[in-house]
Structure 1
Amino acid sequence: MELRHLRYFVAVAESLSFTAAAERLGVSQPPLSQQIRDLEAELGTPLLWRTSRSVALTPAGTAFLARARGILGAVEEACAEARAVGAGRTGTLDLGLTGSILAGPLGGLIRVFGERYPDVLVRLHEMPPGEQPAALHAQRIDLGFLRRPPEDPALRVVQAWPEAVGVALPAGHRLAAQGAIALADLRDEPFVSLRLRDSRFATDLWEACRNAGFVPRLVQQVVESASLVNLVAAGLGVALVPESAGAVPRPDVAYRPLLGPAPTADVCALYRAPAGAVTENFLALMRDALDGTGGAGPVAS
C-alpha cells in the first residue's frame, strides 16, 4: 500500500464519482479504478459499492476513509514541519555568551530574530569565553560570542560587530578631566581586570599595556565586565573595558576613550561548519542589521 492509494481512495470517497475524482487528481479514470481495486484486494474487503449510476461507501470504506484522512493529514504536517526546519523557521538556537556581550547589539538582534522567526526558541547560555569552543564541539550551543576567538580549524569565525576599548575611572579621578587617555598615562594606576586565565581579551589588554611601556599592576581579577565597573566605582582601580560597558551612565564612574593606537574589543561569532539553517538565519540577520551601522546603535526591526 502506498500513499497514492490513500489519496486516490479519499478523492473517490469524497466525490462519490470516479470521473470527478480523476479530474481532481489529474489522472485518467481507468488507472484510478485499477488503483482502487488493488487497494481493496490488499485489504481483502470492498470499500465502495459501484453501480452504473452511482458510487457509495461500504461500512469498511467509511471506517477506512477516517483513517486515510488522518494518515494523509499527518503526512502533510510532517512535510510542512520538515520544510520549516529545513528553512530555519522553527527549531532552537542556543547562544553562548558572557553577560557583558549583552550590553552591545546582541539583545536587539535576539529581539528582532524572535519577531521574524517566532517559532524558533532562543536559549542563552552564559559561560566564560574559554568554555565556548568546547560547548560548540559538544553541540551544547550553536553560536558563541566572544572577543578573542581561538584558532580552531573545525570552527568558523565572523565578526559580529566592532567595538572600541575605553577606560573606566572612579568619578573624580585626576584623568577624568581629559577627553581621551593614552595607555601610557595609566602606568602608575592600580588595575582591575578580567581574569587572565579565562579571557584571551584580558591577555591582549595586558600585552597592550606592556607595548605601551609598563606592566599593569593588577589588584583584582573578575569574570564579568559589569563586576569590573563595580570595582572601579568602589575606587579599587581603573579598568580597560569595552565601550558598551559605558553605555549606561553612572555618576560614580567616568568613561573615557583611549588615544590610538589602542586595542579593540571587537565581538566575533563562532560556530560549527556547516551551520544549521536556524544558525544561518541568525547570522544573515546579524549581517543585515549591523551592515554599515558600526555595530554600536540599536537594532531596528
Structure 2
Amino acid sequence: MELRHLRYFIAVAEAASFTAAAKNLNISQPPLSQQIKDLEEEVGTRLFERSSRHVELTEAGASFLDHARMILGQVEHAAHQARVIGSGQVGMLNIGTTGSVLLGQLSTLIARFRNRWPGVFVRIHEMDPQAQELALLSHRTDLSFVRKPRYNADLVGKVAWQEKVGVALPADHPLARHETVELGALRQESFVFLRLAESRFARYLHDCCVAAGFVPNITNEVVESYSLTSLVSAGLGVALVPECIRNLSRPGVVYRALADPAPEADVYVLSRPNHGPVVASFLEATEAMSG
C-alpha cells in the first residue's frame, strides 16, 4: 500500500464519483479505478459500493476513510517538521561562552535570533575557554564565543564582532581626567588581571604591556573580566578590560579608552566543520549583525 492509494481513495470518497475524482486528480478514470481495486484487494474487503449512478462508502470504507485521513495528516505533519528542522527554524542550540562576552553583543544576538526563530531553544553554558573547546569537540555544545582562541584544526573559527580594550580606573585616579590613556602611562600601576595560566586573552594583554615598555605589576588574578571591576572599585589596582565592560556600572570606577593602537578584544565564534541547519542559521545571524 502506498500513499497515493490513500490519496486516490480519499478523493473518490469525497467526490462520491470516480469521474469527478479523476478530474480533480488530473488523471484518467480507468487507472484510478484500477488503483482503488488494487487497494481493496490489499485491504481484503470492499471499500465502495458502486452503481451506475453513484459511488458510496461501505461501512468498512467509512472506517478506512477516517484512518486514511489521519495517516495522511501525520505524514504531512512529519514532512512539515522535517522542513522546518532542515531549515534551522526548530531545534536546540547549546552555546558555550564567558560571562564577559554575554555582557557584550552576544545577549543581543541571542535575543534577535530567538525573536526570528522562536522554535529554537537556546541554552547558554558559561565556562572558561579551555572547557568551551572540550565541550565543543565532544558535541556537548554547538558553538563557542571566545576571545583569542587557540588554533585547533578540528574547529572552524571566525571573528564574530570586533572590540577594543580599555582601562578600568578608580574614579579619583589622575588618569581618569583624560578621555584616552596611553598604555605606557600605566607602567607604574598595580594591575588586577585575568588568570594568565588559564586565559590566552590575559597572556595577550600581558604581551601588549611588554610591547609598550613595561611588565605589568599584577597583584591579583580572577577568572572573569567583570570581576576585575570589583577589585578596581576596592582600590586594588587598575584593569585592562574589553570595551563591553563599560555596560557594567560599578561605584567608584570609570572606563577610559586606550590610545591607538589599542589592544584588541575581538570575539570569535567557533564551530565544528559539519554543523547542522540550526547552527548555520545562528552563524548567519551572527554575520548579519557584525556586518
TM-score by length of 2: 0.96
Query: What's the CA shift for 1:180?
Result: 1.8
Query: What's the CA shift for 1:178?
Result: 2.5
Report the equivalent of 1:268: 268
Report the equivalent of 2:164: 164
Report the equivalent of 1:101: 101
Aligned partner of 2:56: which letter?
A
Aligned partner of 1:197: which letter?
A
Query: What's the CA shift for 1:177?
Result: 2.1
Aligned partner of 1:155: which letter?
L
Report the equivalent of 1:147: 147
Unaligned runs of 5+ residues in structure 1 are: 292-301
Aligned partner of 1:76: which letter?
E
Report the equivalent of 1:299: none
How many pairs does the alignment contain?
A: 291
CA distance in 2, matches of 1:93, 1:279: 7
Query: What's the CA shift for 1:213?
Result: 2.1
- 2:231 match: secondary structure: helix
- 1:205 match: secondary structure: helix
Report the equivalent of 1:183: 183
Check conservation: 2:229, 2:250, Cα contact below 8 A. Answer: no
Query: What's the CA shift for 1:263?
Result: 1.3
CA distance in 2, matches of 1:222, 1:19: 80
Report the equivalent of 2:117: 117
Report the equivalent of 2:131: 131
CA distance in 1, matches of 2:251, 2:222: 22
CA distance in 1, matches of 2:15, 2:277: 41
- 2:181 match: secondary structure: coil
CA distance in 1, matches of 2:198, 2:3: 57
Aligned partner of 2:127: which letter?
M
- 1:282 match: secondary structure: helix
Report the equivalent of 1:296: none
Aligned partner of 1:80: which letter?
H
CA distance in 1, matches of 2:131, 2:230: 24
Matched, 1:286 2:290: no
Query: What's the CA shift for 1:248?
Result: 4.0
Aligned partner of 1:42: which letter?
E
CA distance in 1, matches of 2:23, 2:127: 61
Query: What's the CA shift for 1:36?
Result: 0.8
- 1:130 match: secondary structure: helix
Runs of 4+ that moved beyond 3 A: 248-251
Query: What's the CA shift for 1:241?
Result: 0.1
Report the equivalent of 1:75: 75
Query: What's the CA shift for 1:258?
Result: 1.2
Q: Deviations over 1:53-100 (max 9, x none)?
A: 111111111111111111100000000000101111111121111111
Report the equivalent of 2:230: 230
- 2:74 match: secondary structure: helix
- 1:221 match: secondary structure: strand
Q: Please give the residue correspondences for 1:53-72 in structure 2 after superposition, counting only pairs within 5 Å.
A: 53-72=53-72
- 2:9 match: secondary structure: helix
- 2:180 match: secondary structure: coil
Query: What's the CA shift for 1:249?
Result: 4.3
Report the equivalent of 1:204: 204
Report the equivalent of 1:297: none
Report the equivalent of 1:241: 241
- 2:139 match: secondary structure: coil
Query: What's the CA shift for 1:186?
Result: 1.6
Report the equivalent of 2:38: 38
Aligned partner of 2:33: which letter?
S
Say which is worse superposed, 194-203 or 282-291, in terms of deviation: 282-291
Aligned partner of 1:9: which letter?
F
Aligned partner of 1:28: which letter?
S
Aligned partner of 1:48: which letter?
F
- 1:95 match: secondary structure: strand
Q: How many percent identity over aligned positions?
A: 54
Q: Deviations over 1:122-160 (max 9, x none)?
A: 111111111112111111211110011221122111211
CA distance in 2, matches of 1:62, 1:123: 48
Query: What's the CA shift for 1:274?
Result: 2.5
- 2:167 match: secondary structure: strand
Report the equivalent of 1:294: none
